[in-house]
């Protein structure tokens, strides 16, 4: 029976091979007679410089892709977020407030600070572009001037001089003559320095509370009790009683006035 089954399987395989060969021979003339069709070409044309609507769409889509980088590099968002993270670490509350809460508050404070600059950009760049008085590229150049003035107001001269030297540029007569590739990194470095300075000042009172609690628990022999269990509620209570959020946010906003 085993031999009969093997013979049947061999005969089925042979029949399948013959059928497949006959199918190939039958389809060969049809494939050879079929005309070869070329793929249609896809036209690629850039819009004309006078087509302001198309260029406006291109500029808007480009700005949407680089919007996070613009928010991080050309606004007070960096300083505000650094201060908030230092404050949370100083309080010892781990993930409270959450990162989403801190970023949301930082974004709205950034919008509050940058609103005058945004109105100026709308007046000098967006409005002329909507009325077809300037092209999209000219509007970008006009919009960069208010941003440059804002960043130069808070960028330190030391960082500007360092990046100007590294870029091998001649020292300009006025800071407004510096290119954006020098102004933007200088502004970011300055904002990080100021943010760390404010964070260090915020750390001091909470560090004193930690030291006092650690000294008291050690002196009374409570060696098995971690001092952070006692110091964290005390720091939160101190922060709430002193209206800490009002003081921190008010100081941040006043630092940009």
In 3D space, the residue among 257, 244, 249 whose CA is nearest the CA of residue 108 turns out to be 249
Confidence at residue 193, expressed as pLDDT on a 0 to 100 scale: 92
Q: At what angle do helices 77-91 and 227-241 cross, to 10 degrees?
A: 130
Two structure tokens written together for 61: 């889509």
In 3D space, the residue among 228, 31, 63 whose CA is nearest the CA of residue 129 turns out to be 63
CA 168 – CA 173 distance, rounded (Å): 15
Confidence at residue 256, expressed as pLDDT on a 0 to 100 scale: 87
Two structure tokens written together for 223: 């060696």
Confidence at residue 217, expressed as pLDDT on a 0 to 100 scale: 81
Show the low-confidence residues of the chain (pLDDT under 70). Answer: 1-53, 55
Whole-Å CA distances, 52 to 112, 131, 132: 31, 10, 7
In 3D space, the residue among 111, 115, 140 whose CA is nearest the CA of residue 125 turns out to be 140
Two structure tokens written together for 146: 């208010």
**Residues above pLDDT 90, as percent of the chain:** 13
Secondary structure of the chain as H, E, C letters: CHHHHHHHHHHHHHHHHHHHHHHHHHHHHHHHHCCCCCCCCCCCCCCCCCCHHHHHHHHHHHHHHCHHHHHHHCCCHHHHHHHHHHHHHHHCCCCCCCHHHHHHHHHHHHHHHHHHHHHHHHHHHHHHHHCCCCCHHHHHHHHHHHHHHHHHHHCCHHHHHHHHHHCCCCCCCCHHHCCHHHHHHHHHHHHHHHHHHHHHHHHHHHHHHHHHHHHHHHHCCCCCCCHHHHHHHHHHHHHHHCCHHHHHHHHHHHHCC
Q: Do 178 and 160 meet the contact criterion of CB atoms below 8 Å apart?
A: yes
In 3D space, the residue among 200, 225, 227 whose CA is nearest the CA of residue 211 turns out to be 227
Q: Which residue has the tokens 């007046």?
A: 123
* Model confidence pLDDT, tens digit, residues 175-202: 888 888 889 899 999 999 999 999 999 8
Integer-rounded Cα Rg, in Å, for the chain is 34
Kindly report whether the global pTM for this prediction surpasses the value 0.85: no
Q: Do 185 and 163 meet the contact criterion of CB atoms below 8 Å apart?
A: yes
């Amino acid at each position: 029976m085993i031999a009969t089954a093997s013979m049947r399987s061999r005969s089925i395989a042979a029949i399948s091979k013959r059928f497949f060969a006959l199918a190939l021979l039958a389809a060969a003339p049809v494939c050879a007679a079929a005309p070869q069709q070329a793929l249609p070409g896809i036209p690629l044309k850039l819009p004309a410089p006078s087509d302001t609507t198309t260029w406006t769409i291109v500029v808007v889509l480009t700005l949407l892709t680089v919007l996070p980088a613009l928010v991080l590099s050309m606004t007070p968002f960096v300083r505000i977020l650094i201060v908030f993270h230092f404050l949370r670490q100083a309080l010892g509350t781990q993930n409270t407030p959450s990162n989403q809460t801190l970023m949301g508050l930082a974004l709205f404070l950034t919008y509050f600070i940058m609103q005058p600059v945004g109105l100026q950009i709308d007046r000098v760049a967006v409005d002329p572009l909507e009325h077809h008085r300037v092209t999209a590229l000219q509007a970008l150049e006009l919009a960069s001037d208010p941003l440059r003035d804002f960043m130069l107001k808070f960028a330190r001269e030391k960082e500007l001089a360092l990046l100007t030297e590294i870029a091998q540029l001649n020292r300009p007569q006025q800071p407004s003559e510096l290119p954006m590739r020098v102004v933007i990194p200088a502004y970011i470095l300055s904002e990080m320095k100021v943010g760390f300075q404010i964070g260090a000042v915020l750390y001091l009172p909470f560090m004193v509370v930690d030291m006092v609690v650690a000294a008291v628990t050690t002196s009374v022999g409570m060696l098995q009790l971690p001092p952070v269990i006692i110091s964290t509620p005390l720091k939160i209570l101190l922060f709430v009683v002193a209206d800490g959020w009002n003081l921190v946010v008010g100081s941040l906003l006043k630092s940009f006035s």
